[in-house]
Structure 1
Amino acid sequence: MDVHVLVADRYRLDESLGRGSMGEVWRATDQILGRPVAVKLLHADVPDRVGATDVERFRMEGRTAARLNHANVVAVYDFGAGDGMLHLVMELVEGWSLAQERAGRGILHPWEAAGIAAQMAAGLAAAHREGVIHRDIKPANVMLTAERTAKITDFGLAKFAHEAAMALTGTGKVVGSAAYLAPERALSRPAQPASDVYSLGCVLYELLTGRPPFLGPTALSVVQQHVDAAPVAPATLRVEIPVPLSDYVLRLLAKDPAQRPTAEEAAEWLAAPTEPPVAPLPRPQDAAPATAVLASVHLPGTEGLPTTTRSHAARSRRVSPKALLALGGAVVFAASAAIGMAMSSGDGDNAAPEPPPATSAQPTTEPATPSATPSPDDDHHGKDRGKGDGEDEKGEEKRREKQRDRGEDD
């Protein structure tokens, strides 16, 4: 198809955005409304594959998809058949496919992948409420915007594309995206909303681990595993994946459709803030065993008062600088209080009095040497000692005089 060609006399093709097995997607302009749109053109031979009845079914599917109005669904504006081709006019999403995201980044952070899957599930839930089943959920059919909004595309086209391919390859043969195919579809049973949920689980599995749940040398071998093989838990392949998330992916991949959550339930669970929260900072009273330390300081007059001790064996031994400063200040204050109370119990002097020197019952022959800085009590005791010594000297002098007098008499 050439640039600037008008489709249905309304949509001008401006630029080719990509080509797939069923057709080509173009950036186009709606000449009537003057807005950019995406136009998907099915290959010219597609109508020949399915016949008039299937073309009418395509119109019905397109009409149903056009009723969907959800932030996580690429809106369908128009559809039709003309000039020997089928076309689908859709919302133009400025972004890239989830398949391109995977190719560029590899595996995603677990909760980022869960967030994208939650948006996909929300879009599927909106479609299922309208009775629309996608039937071909895969990374290539999910668009991501720069704001990380996920949008599912190709609603109204997937069923038609599947039936067209079945007609081309023969009834009963399995075709399509084998890596994301639900077991019931592999067994040629009708698609149901749970089939989309299973495919969603396959996509999330790949975003988390970097690979689909089942691998094999051929599409048929992969399809067979969807039917009878148990997938390896994602957390086994990548230890960073939280176990609850890993277990929930396995629920999405249940073999029995009745055992899978609904798309609405999956959207609610995957969008919940289930990532482990950051551990809260310790409370001030838990920072250090300050109560126990203060209880060990003895203060006069506190006998009989209850003391409080707390066990901190199970708590962290790390003490913050602020806690150390507070603790040190408390201990200094307590010690100062103890000293002050002890001093207040004395006679009021600023200096603690020295004990008085012991006095003998017998008089001493040498006077006591006074202290360089005697206290009042020391000075008083010194005066008493000086007075006693003077009296002893006078008595001795009298005895000596009496002895001299006796000698003269003799």
Structure 2
Amino acid sequence: MLIAGRYRLRDTIGRGAMGEVWRAFDETLGRPVAVKLLLPHDSDPTAPSRFRLEAQTAGRLSHPHVVAVLDFGEHEDRLFLVMELVEGDSLADRLTVSGPLPAELVAQIAAQAALGLAAAHQQGIVHRDIKPANLLLGADGTLKIGDFGIARFLDDPGAALTATGQIVGTSLYLAPERALGRTAGPASDVYSLGCLLYQLLTGRPPFQADTALAVLHQHLDAAPVPPRRLGADLPPAFESYLLGLLAKEPESRPTAEEVADWFERGAWRGAREPLPNEHQHHGRPDRPLVTGSRAAAPASSLSASTAHSDRAFTPVPDTEWRTSVHRAATRRSHLPFLRRSRLVAVLGGAGLFTLALVVGMVWFSPGTGSAQGPQTTRSTSTSPATPSPSASYETAFSPPAQPAEQKPERAPEVTPGPKKANKPGKRKH
């Protein structure tokens, strides 16, 4: 079949809810291309508008890690979109054939996908549907992001073309804020990327359930099991940073640009580092470290950030955590301080009581203080007095009895001698 007099369709290479993708050849320019044809959508009047939006959105981007849009038009009442042809498989196909991927390859995918997302975000575009089926890995190892069908412009909230209150996207990779019906932002794409990387490493998404609603609840309230507990072979730094990408709060995640920088620098090979946003929640983890790659310095960007801190990732016995990583970490981080405060209060009270007791004993003890009267008799006994064991507490601290009144002894009389009269004014020589 020849489309628009120049694109000859050869065979189908993919099919989605909105259209089917063909391998084709551009006879005008003599090069292979991919042509996406819009499927009939009689029950969905917004389908043509969304298809045009995809063309406009992707056409606004020109980046090595984003599938390029080459042409757009209509043929026999069917809209078509011409894109560059990526010779390779989607990550969904790769997972089906190979299962979990090695950490080295996943790190390369992470860096490239983050670069593509960063380019989109800089143009004010949020993809909103990052998942394995929408990321294509070429034969040469180059990754490209495709399918901007439900993307939106940050400066045009109405561009999503969805019904009021409808959540668009795939529940397995949906950010918590979107599960709450909030507007998607760049951080939402970063969360979806984290879910995708988690699946590439473990073979399963971070959250699974029988219904989409149950999955959304897990995105909101559950913490993912650390990948290494599921058998993933990856360095501690990689695991820590990945969990930081899955932070529940958007502001706790690194930006796409920071993610790309962190993986490109090879920081994922190192030992566990603070989560990007841990230092905000623990005295900081927690915005992901905000130095260079908030992600690198932090987990590298994930605090003594955070993270997304082994205490923040302690699973319950059934491996499903009941509270968010950051809320749990915050509560635990304050416990030592509270215990120290209680100990200081108890010791302080005991010290004051002891001091008061000693002062009282000194004040009222016999043989000391002003309460003791003058002693006029000497004891003739050489043995110490033994207090009666039955003496009461009050008796032991009673002041001593006053001694009996005694008659004062008469002072010896002195007889004065005869007085000599001295004449005034005369001095005897």
Q: Calculate the TM-score normalised by the size of structure 1.
A: 0.60
Residues 210 and 184 (structure 1 numbering): CA distance in 2 closer, same or farther, change over 3 Å?
Answer: same
| Alignment correspondent of 1:37 | 33
Residues 84 and 223 (structure 1 numbering): CA distance in 2 closer, same or farther, change over 3 Å?
Answer: farther
| Alignment correspondent of 1:230 | 223
How far apart, in 1, do the equivalents of 2:145 and 2:57 lie? 15
Amino acid at match of 2:150: A
How far apart, in 2, do the equivalents of 1:154 and 1:97 lie? 12
How far apart, in 2, do the equivalents of 1:75 and 1:255 lie? 32
Deviations along 1:223-271, whole A, 9 cap, x unmatched? 1211221111222222622111111111111111111111010011122
Q: Write out aligned runs for 1:129-208 (5 A).
A: 129-155=122-148, 157-159=149-151, 171-174=164-167, 176-208=169-201
Amino acid at match of 2:21: V
User: In the alignment, is the contact (CA less than 8 A) between 2:73 and 2:81 conserved in 1?
Assistant: yes
User: In the alignment, is the contact (CA less than 8 A) between 2:201 and 2:232 conserved in 1?
Assistant: no
| Alignment correspondent of 1:7 | 3
Deviation, 1:109, is: 1.3
- SS of the counterpart of 2:263? helix
Deviations along 1:319-378, whole A, 9 cap, x unmatched? xxxxxxxxxxxxxxxxxxxxxxxxxxxxxxxxxxxxxxxxxxxxxxxxxxxxxxxxxxxx
Deviations along 1:109-149, whole A, 9 cap, x unmatched? 11221111111111111111111211111111111111111
Unaligned runs of 5+ in 2: 153-157, 271-429
Q: Write out aligned runs for 1:367-406 (5 A).
A: none
How far apart, in 2, do the equivalents of 1:274 and 1:203 lie? 19
2:62 equivalent to 1:66: no
Amino acid at match of 2:236: V
Q: Write out aligned runs for 1:4-403 (5 A).
A: 4=1, 6-45=2-41, 49-51=44-46, 55-56=48-49, 58-155=51-148, 157-159=149-151, 171-174=164-167, 176-238=169-231, 240-274=233-267
User: In the alignment, is the contact (CA less than 8 A) between 1:234 and 1:246 conserved in 2?
Assistant: yes
Residues 134 and 206 (structure 1 numbering): CA distance in 2 closer, same or farther, change over 3 Å?
Answer: same
How far apart, in 2, do the equivalents of 1:113 and 1:88 lie? 30
Amino acid at match of 2:178: R
CA radius of gyration, larger in: 1
Deviation, 1:274, is: 3.3
User: In the alignment, is the contact (CA less than 8 A) between 1:70 and 1:123 conserved in 2?
Assistant: yes
How far apart, in 2, do the equivalents of 1:88 and 1:226 lie? 34
Deviation, 1:69, is: 1.6
Unaligned runs of 5+ in 1: 278-410
Amino acid at match of 1:260: R
Q: State the percentage of identical aligned residues.
A: 57
Residues 20 and 60 (structure 1 numbering): CA distance in 2 closer, same or farther, change over 3 Å?
Answer: closer
How far apart, in 1, do the equivalents of 2:268 and 2:237 lie? 10
- SS of the counterpart of 2:45? helix
Report the number of matched residues.
Answer: 265
How far apart, in 1, do the equivalents of 2:172 and 2:50 lie? 27
| Alignment correspondent of 1:342 | none
User: In the alignment, is the contact (CA less than 8 A) between 2:128 and 2:150 conserved in 1?
Assistant: yes
How far apart, in 1, do the equivalents of 2:233 and 2:177 lie? 32
How far apart, in 2, do the equivalents of 1:231 and 1:104 lie? 25
Deviation, 1:213, is: 0.5
How far apart, in 2, do the equivalents of 1:218 and 1:266 lie? 31
How far apart, in 2, do the equivalents of 1:55 and 1:189 lie? 25
User: In the alignment, is the contact (CA less than 8 A) between 2:238 and 2:268 conserved in 1?
Assistant: no
